[in-house]
Structure formats: C-alpha cells, structure tokens
Structure 1
Amino acid sequence: MIRLLLIAVPLIELAGLIMLGQRVGVGYTLLWVLVSGLLGVAVIQRQGWGTLQRLQERLADNRSPFSVLKSGMWGVVAGLLLMFPGVITDALAVAALIVALRHRGQPEPGEPGGPRVYRRGDNNIIEGEWESPQGSERRDDPDSRIDKH
C-alpha cells in the first residue's frame, strides 16, 4: 500500500502541474513551484529555530514541552510539503500550517489557563467540562451514570 502511494502521489502531482501549466502558463507554473519551494525552506527554518527557542523557554520554566513540540512538528511537516513541487502537497501544507497555528500557545494540562491536574491515589485526574449531546437524557438520570452499581 505504501509503495503504491509513493508511486501514485508524484504522478498525481505531475498531472496537477501539467493541468496548472495549461491553465495559467508554464512561466507561472514554474514560478509557483519555485516560490512554494522557497517558502517551504523558510517555514522549516523559522519553525525549527522558533520551536527550539520556545522549547528552551518551556524547559527553563519547568513547564510541559508537548504543545511546543506539537505545533513545531506540524510546522516542519508543512514546510516539507511545500518543498515538494505540486498543487496537492501545497494544499496539504496549508492544512498543516493551520493545525500548527491552532496548537500554538494552547496551555497544557496543569499549566496556568489550562485544565487542572491532580493525583488521587495512583490516578492522575485532569479536569474538564462535559456536555451531553442534544436530545439525550438528563445528567442526574441514574441510568446514564458511568459508575452504575
């Protein structure tokens, strides 16, 4: 399956670039490929150094590094996708950048502004909010409780 995907993706990208070249012209298509490749390199450089700096700040403050790693990873994936010539990988790169920006700055459990974390016995408990779906039974209904006896 992976081998088929590794063969199919470049062929689909090539077909997409040919169709784009027919619509807007070869010059603009080559400009698209060049600009997206340079943008991919810039995103990787920026995400790499920015992630490293934010990671050092988090570790120096004895805070969880996971949100930084998550947003940094998606940024690097977006940069790599932009470096590959093609329209589909560029669209996937935009989606990865949106995910990276969405995860940036979100507080992790236990951090100020994030859910509270505490221990009860051998269990870690992370506070959160729960809402029942529309039209479902009420919360105080004994049949809807998880800890039925």
Structure 2
Amino acid sequence: MPLLRILLLAFPLIELASLILLGQAVGVGWTLFWVLFTGVLGLMLIQRQGWGMFQRLQQQMLANRNPGAVLKSGMWGVLAGALIAFPGLVSDVLAVPCLIMALRHRGGGSGPGAGSDEGPRTYRHGEYTIIEGEWQAGEPSREQDPSRLRDR
C-alpha cells in the first residue's frame, strides 16, 4: 500500500518532467498545443463513450440481454478518455492499451449473453423466457424451507 501512495504522488511529477522534456525537444508552443489537443480529444472521447455506452446499455436491457460487455467497453473507453485528457505524455501512453481494450470489448453483447460470462443467459422460446441456471439435488423444497414465509 505504501508503494501505491508513492506512485500516486510521483505520477504528477513524472508527467510534469515529461512535459518539460517535450518542451525542450520541440518547443513551448508545440507542447502547449499538444496539451490542449489531447485535453479536448480526451473530453470528446469521454463524452462519446459515455453517450454510446448509455445507448447500447438501453438496447441491451430492452432486449433482455446481459449488459456486461457494454459496461466493460464503456469503462475502458472512459478510462482512456480520462487518461488522454490528463496533461502529460505518460498518461497518453497508458491510454493506448485502454483504447485497445475498449475496441476489443466493443463488438461484444450482440447476442443473448454474448461477450460476458457474468449472470444467467436468457433465451426466448415462443411465449416462454428460458433462464439458464444451476440446480442441485437435495435443496429444500418450498415446504421444507424454514426461512420462507408461509402462504395463508
């Protein structure tokens, strides 16, 4: 835990050092342009990923499907946008794997239960909804379960 605290304290200093080195290499004007450009790009990415995730989440829930893959994709996209919006070069480099993960999870969630192993899968068969689940022999029945409220 102390290592995490030290890294959290050192991260802004590392970002500042990277911006100073970039400023020495390409000049102050281009460094300021880079900071402004990545800040706007990061905010646009957060906005786009947030609204896109919200719309896909609504579609998944209306279709009675598991929204796990949509949430994974949106989480990675918003994290990438936040890292890009944070001024510095190290955070921009860390945003690239997050973008790759967001694109990797983006295609998931199109079929029933696709792209996510969390939760039961549901299927429609005519007028019936079939929910996959697990059943174990020896579970108490309704009459034997002492924690169940009695029907009147």
TM bracket, shorter-chain basis:
0.7 to 0.9
Q: Select 1:56's aligned residue among 51, 54, 58.
A: 58
The number of equivalent residue pairs is 122
Q: CA deviation at 1:57?
A: 0.1
Please say if residues 36 and 85 of structure 1, whose CA atoms lie closer than 8 Å, have aligned partners that are also in contact: yes
Kept in 2, the 8 Å contact 1:67–1:108? The answer is no
Which of 14, 17, 32 does residue 15 from structure 1 map onto? 17
Name structure 1 gaps, 5 residues minimum: 123-149
In structure 2, what is the Cα distance between the partners aligned to 1:8 and 1:24? Answer: 24
> How far does residue 109 in structure 1 lie from its aligned partner after superposition?
8.7
> Closer, same or farther in 2 for the Cα pair 1:112/1:94, shift >3 Å?
closer
Query: What runs of 5+ residues in structure 2 fail to find an aligned partner?
Result: 122-131, 137-152
Pairwise CA distance, 1:107? 4.3
**Segment drifting more, 91-100 vs 52-61:** 91-100
In the alignment, which of 135, 139, 147 is matched to residue 121 of structure 1? Answer: 135
The equivalent of 2:31 in structure 1 is 29
User: In structure 2, do the counterparts of structure 1 residues 21 and 105 end up closer, same or farther at CA, with 3 Å as the change threshold?
Assistant: same
Q: Aligned residue for 1:81? A: 83
TM-score, with length taken from structure 1: 0.73
Name 2:105's counterpart in structure 1.
103
Q: Greater RCO between the two (CA within 8 Å, min separation 6)?
A: 2
* Match of residue 144 from structure 2: none
Contact 1:108–1:114 under 8 Å retained in 2: no
In 2 relative to 1, CA 98–60 (structure 1 residues): closer, same or farther, beyond 3 Å? same
- Identity, % of aligned pairs? 57
CA distance in 2: counterparts of 1:113 and 1:100, whole angstroms: 13
Q: 1:35 to 1:18 in 2, by over 3 A?
A: same
Structure showing greater Rg:
2
